[in-house]
Amino acid sequence: MQDVQSLIIKAAELKKNKEEAVAAMVELSRIYGGGMGGVRPDLKAAFKWARQAVNQNSPEGYWELSKVVGSLCIAETDTKRKLKLLDFLLNTCDEGTLLNQKNAQAAYNVGFSCEYLADILDGQDIPRHSDVQRLRHTAKRYYKLSYESAKSMPVDKLDKNILKAFMDAELGTKRLIIKMSPDNHHVYTRDFLRLES
């Protein structure tokens, strides 16, 4: 892994070497998003770099942006702000773009974010039945897009297993449930997910 300063310099050299600059933007998003290489996690910085990569139409940038916005949605405490973040994600990572890129990872992450917010809204006392149904329907479309994209591209074993599990959810036989962590905070990790019949 390269150090952050050299990646920032590469990212700034977009006109000189676009391919290296975009790769640096994606790597900076990963570093800040995951707090790697001794860098403190910073979702806002990760968002900034992923968005710059998306502006260059980078498939990896879309994947990173979908992860970062999903994490921001989960970290956000205000439901209205969660929905605004999701709207941004749906407008940026639209189905047509992800289909053209065959971007299974980004489609999976968008579907996950929709399903997560549907579960959050479903658990609130405010009647939001139409929002919940819309989000579940959107999640199913993105899961299906993810599955279809994965069939025509190489993905690692974990992703194939996840996509297979979510095909069950897409087909309506199971529903995604978000489990709470012991301290009652939502956790963006697959260790706290399960599919329920």
Positions of the chain with pLDDT lower than 50, given as ranges: 155-158, 161, 175-197
**What integer pLDDT is reported at residue 128 of this predicted model?**
66
DSSP assigned state of 190: G
71-92 residue pLDDT tens:
998 888 888 899 899 999 999 9
- The pLDDT score that the predictor gives to residue 59 is 92
Q: What is the pLDDT of residue 192?
A: 34
- CA gap 97, 49 in Å, rounded: 19
In 10 A of CB 8, how many CB atoms? 13
Write the DSSP string, 117-178: HHHHHHTSSS--HHHHHHHHHHHHHHHHHHHHHHHTS---HHHHHHHHHHHHHHTTS-EEEE
Residue 180 has φ and ψ, to the nearest 5°, of: -90, 150
Task: Show me where the domains of the chain are located.
Answer: 1-56, 77-196
For residues 78-91, one letter each, b for 16 or more C-beta atoms within 10 angstroms of the residue's C-beta and e for the rest, the string is: eeeebbebbebbbe
